[in-house]
């Protein structure tokens, strides 16, 4: 794979970063289309998306740092250049985005329920594209696998940046996760014209994302990020946050289903993904 896409003198252009940028613009396009179905201004969605992107970047780095500190990684390594280059923990990014979303909604100039429903399919799309960046960088790699579809990393830069095992066939868990994210996006788009209350799409996202992540952890090979919470080796950090997502989705479903609904919802038959 190619962690570094190309170099311009001392400047290195990382493949992961470029793909993340492409994923953001694809997600922004979908979020604006979804928001338009509920009468949300594209400019407002754009401004909100930029805020969530910045919060997501901070959140992803923060969760990675916290987990490393809990594991006892030396502080000099935790706050090294490698940490700054790393993509971080995706669930930390989602958590950071959620916190920023609720903070932004305090202004009261955007409809909470319809706004929160416009974003999840776009988030799932961005996650799917971002996993191609993980594949290129060699991070979030899988466990050893000898199936015909296994992948083998050979680029020393992948080992240098992410500790990726070289010369060993691995589960292409980045592609598994990408397909899972696309499936989540498809289910959300399918259910959107059938939703029974504003906020249902967001609640579904957290439940589906949580379940999918718990399953994907089965084939992850970067086990050093797992802490074996509560003395259980299978309860990795990814599964802990995934379980939190499921619980949050259930709570959000119960809360939003009891909120007053828009008085003039757009007819479901006219909605397009």
Q: What are the sequence ranges of the domains in the chain?
A: 4-259
How much is the pLDDT for 231?
Answer: 55
How far is Cα 198 from Cα 116, in angstroms, rounded to an integer?
8
Query: What single string gives the DSSP state of each residue in 122-185?
Result: HHHHHHHHHHHHHHHHT-S-B-B--STT-EE---HHHHHHH---SSSEE--HHHHHHHHHHHHH
Q: What is the DSSP letter of 259?
A: S
Q: Under DSSP, is residue 4 helix (H, G, I), strand (E, B) or coil? A: strand
- Helix H or strand E encompassing 241: helix 237-256
Q: Which pLDDT does position 2 carry in this prediction?
A: 73
- Cα-based distances in Å from 11 to 7, 8, 14, 19, 134: 6, 5, 10, 17, 20
Instruction: Please list the pLDDT of the chain residue by residue as tens digits (273 residues).
Output: 676 766 777 777 778 888 999 999 999 999 999 999 999 999 999 999 999 999 998 888 888 777 777 666 676 666 665 555 566 678 888 999 999 999 999 888 888 999 999 999 999 999 999 999 899 888 889 999 999 999 999 988 888 777 889 999 999 999 999 999 999 999 999 999 999 999 999 999 999 999 999 999 989 887 655 555 555 555 777 888 899 999 999 999 999 999 877 644 444 434 444
SS3 call for 11: strand
Quote the CA–CA distance of 157 and 135 in Å, as a whole number.
Answer: 13
Distance from C-alpha of 75 to C-alpha of 188, rounded to nearest angstrom: 41
> What's phi and psi for 74, nearest 5 deg?
-55, 140
Q: What is the pTM of this model?
A: 0.85
CA distance from start to end of the chain? 33
What is the tally of helices (H) and strands (E) in the chain?
Answer: 11, 4
């Amino acid at each position: 794979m190619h962690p570094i896409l190309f170099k311009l003198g001392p400047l290195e252009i990382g493949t992961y970063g470029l793909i993340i940028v492409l994923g953001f613009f694809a997600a922004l396009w979908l979020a604006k289309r979804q928001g338009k179905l509920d009468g949300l201004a594209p400019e407002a969605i754009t401004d909100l998306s930029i805020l969530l992107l910045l919060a997501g970047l901070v959140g992803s780095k923060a969760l990675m740092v916290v987990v490393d500190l809990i594991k006892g990684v030396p502080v000099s390594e935790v706050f090294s250049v490698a940490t700054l280059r790393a993509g971080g923990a995706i669930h930390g990014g989602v958590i950071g985005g959620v916190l920023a979303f609720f903070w932004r909604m305090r202004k009261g100039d955007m409809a909470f329920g319809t706004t929160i429903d416009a974003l999840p399919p776009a988030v799932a799309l961005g996650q799917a594209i971002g996993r191609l960046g993980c594949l290129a960088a060699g991070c979030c790699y899988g466990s050893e696998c000898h199936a015909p579809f296994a992948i083998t990393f050979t680029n020393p830069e992948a080992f240098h940046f992410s500790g990726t095992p070289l010369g060993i066939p691995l589960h292409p868990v980045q592609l598994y996760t990408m397909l899972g994210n696309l499936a989540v996006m498809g289910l959300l788009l399918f259910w959107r014209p059938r939703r029974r209350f504003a906020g249902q799409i967001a609640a579904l996202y957290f439940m589906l994302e949580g379940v999918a992540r718990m399953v994907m952890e089965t084939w992850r090979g970067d086990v050093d990020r797992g802490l074996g919470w509560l003395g259980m080796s299978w309860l990795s950090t990814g599964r802990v946050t995934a379980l939190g997502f499921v619980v949050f989705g259930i709570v959000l479903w119960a809360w939003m289903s009891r909120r007053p609904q828009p008085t003039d919802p757009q007819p479901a038959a006219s909605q397009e993904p």
